Structure 1
Amino acid sequence: MTIAQPLATIPDVLRPWLAGVRTMSFAEPPEGTFVQLPDALTKVVLRVTAEGQRDVLAVGPRVRAAYHEGKPHISCVELRLAPGTSRSLLGVPAAELVGRVVPLDALPGGVARRFAREVRWLEPRTALPRIAEVLPGLLTHRTDPGRTALLRAGVDALSVRLDRTPAQVRDVARELSVSERQLRNLFTDGVGVSPKHYARIDRVRTVAARGGSVGWSELAAAAGYFDQSHMTADFRALMGVPPRSYFTDRLPATTPCQAIRIRRP
């Protein structure tokens, strides 16, 4: 089982807009199954294929895991957009991209197309310095600071942290002085999924990252589950197998990466 790990530190100038960066380059197929975890955040991916094809793609939130056969001679850099960044860069609310892969130059508005032109011919492994030069100039003054700060406070409160369990949606809404409906609207526009669904994905990602390092019951409590059976059911629903099967490489059948359809609006 292969899960690509973040290989790049986010430059300070990009921190207002990016939640993470990872680069991947495979000269040979990665060993075992290549796992794409559920991810509540939208990504922009610069990808160069074995045939030399270059794509700049918006990859919307993925609500379930995907398992692929690794492919050789592929290089890419993946930018995980911070909550509230999608509309500013891509011209659409995050909810419109859930489960979709769309070329940036097919999205509405000029910002996405300009960014695609700037990065398309970069080499993914060395693209980050140029991205750090280009992206801030495209996005400065295009976000609503108050709305973005409110959304990110909600995301932080619902996320699993080592020093605390995540809060409940109703408590987050009360703490932020908004209704649960307003919080849901914030998340739908700026993240793409509801607060409850965001929290569910974040918990499962935590189990996938920390499983095996602590006992199951302890991990379930730390991730905010009612109990271990709740954790197992949630994990199975999003990952396709229960935790014990996942961590012993008893995984669902793989699908080719080419099975992901690039959809134009």
Structure 2
Amino acid sequence: MTNSPADNSPAVPDALRPWIDGVEPMGVRDELPNAFTDVPDTATKVVVRFEESGRRETLVIGPRTRATYHVEGDRHVASCVRLRLAPGTLRPLLGAPAVGLVGQVVPLSGLPTAAARRFADALAQVGPDGLVVPPGGMPSSPRTAPSSDPSRMRLLCAAMAALSTRSDRAPAQVKDVARELSVSERQLRNLFTEDVGLSPKHYARIDRVRQVLTRAAEVSWAELAASTGYYDQSHMAADFRTLMGVPPRAFFTGRLPRATPCRTLRQA
């Protein structure tokens, strides 16, 4: 699967812009790969898939806490568009608690709420050629969305930023983030559970491993461990193995866990 050119894609519908933090249009140019990896991810996504037969379906994919390895990609899919939901918009948008979607792939039609139906209606504007990101780009942080609590969203975004790993700094400790934002650790944990689906600690853990995946080719293991906030290289390797199923060296040399058929997408 390769990224589709966005030049001739339809613009993001105005009704969607307050809710979407990123758009990834994809199209199948060649035969789908026999094997692929889904890495851990803290975001909830909505995927619109178009099959060669003309059939269309919309799926909600919750946060992934562990990597999964698959074989036999769905060869009936002609293209798809992945919409990454902005932080704090899941409950007002889909009417579902984030924690109930962790590790799940469900049809959007399986969420029988008025909010989900309105969102499905808006997605009717999404075509098989994907979406184009507006000239100014998608918002780097979520806008205030209808039916949401602006102060709650600001708090969540600030906490997520502090707990995320950046190239110039390691993530902050949960207790320090809570103190800086003038909330208790319990309040912070409840906020993440309801609006992200993960605890603050698990959120930071996944984000940190994703940084390792991104930057492993750029720096040494020791430097990578230090810059991403691990105690040492052994700590990084252990955390990576827990989330990815294999140690870093094994992963980057192609010694991966046994792949399983992607039953979820075939059933969806």
Using structure 2 for the length normalisation, give the TM-score.
0.84
Please give the root-mean-square deviation of Cα atoms over the aligned residues, in Å: 2.8
- Compared CA separation, residues 121 and 85, structure 1 to 2 (3 A): closer
Aligned match of 2:263? 258
- Compared CA separation, residues 217 and 250, structure 1 to 2 (3 A): same
- The answer to whether the aligner puts 1:46 opposite 2:51 as a matched pair is no
Question: Offset of 1:18 from its aligned partner?
Answer: 2.6
| 2:80 and 2:130 in contact (8 A); partners too | no
Alpha-carbon separation, structure 1, partners of 2:112 and 2:164:
31
Of residues 65, 82, 89, the one that matches 1:85 is 89
Alpha-carbon separation, structure 2, partners of 1:255 and 1:50:
24
Alpha-carbon separation, structure 2, partners of 1:257 and 1:142:
36
Of residues 147, 156, 172, the one that matches 1:167 is 172
Question: Offset of 1:115 from its aligned partner?
Answer: 2.0
Aligned match of 1:239? 244
SS at match of 1:83: coil
- The answer to whether the aligner puts 1:150 opposite 2:151 as a matched pair is no
| 1:21 and 1:78 in contact (8 A); partners too | yes
Question: Offset of 1:27 from its aligned partner?
Answer: 3.5
- The answer to whether the aligner puts 1:101 opposite 2:120 as a matched pair is no
- 5 Å-filtered alignment, 1:108-119, equals 108-119=112-123
Aligned match of 2:63? 61
Alpha-carbon separation, structure 2, partners of 1:12 and 1:172:
35
- The answer to whether the aligner puts 1:22 opposite 2:24 as a matched pair is yes
| 2:192 and 2:200 in contact (8 A); partners too | yes
Letter in 1 for 2:113: G
Segments of 5+ residues of structure 1 without an aligned counterpart are 131-138
Aligned match of 1:33? 35
Aligned match of 1:135? none
Question: Offset of 1:212 from its aligned partner?
Answer: 1.6
- Compared CA separation, residues 72 and 12, structure 1 to 2 (3 A): closer
Question: Offset of 1:86 from its aligned partner?
Answer: 0.5
Deviations 1:204-245 (A, max 9, x none): 111111112110011111111111111111111111111111
- Compared CA separation, residues 176 and 213, structure 1 to 2 (3 A): same
Worse overlay, 40-49 or 64-73:
64-73
Letter in 1 for 2:92: S
Of residues 72, 75, 92, the one that matches 1:72 is 75
Using structure 1 for the length normalisation, give the TM-score.
0.85
- Compared CA separation, residues 190 and 154, structure 1 to 2 (3 A): same
Worse overlay, 10-19 or 170-179:
10-19
- Compared CA separation, residues 129 and 161, structure 1 to 2 (3 A): closer
Letter in 2 for 1:83: P
| 2:58 and 2:108 in contact (8 A); partners too | yes
* Identity across the alignment (%): 56
Question: Offset of 1:122 from its aligned partner?
Answer: 3.5
Alpha-carbon separation, structure 2, partners of 1:171 and 1:16:
30
Question: Offset of 1:127 from its aligned partner?
Answer: 3.8
Q: State the number of aligned residues.
A: 253
SS at match of 1:56: strand
Question: Offset of 1:111 from its aligned partner?
Answer: 2.0
| 1:158 and 1:167 in contact (8 A); partners too | yes
Question: Offset of 1:88 from its aligned partner?
Answer: 1.1
- Compared CA separation, residues 60 and 248, structure 1 to 2 (3 A): same
| 1:21 and 1:77 in contact (8 A); partners too | yes
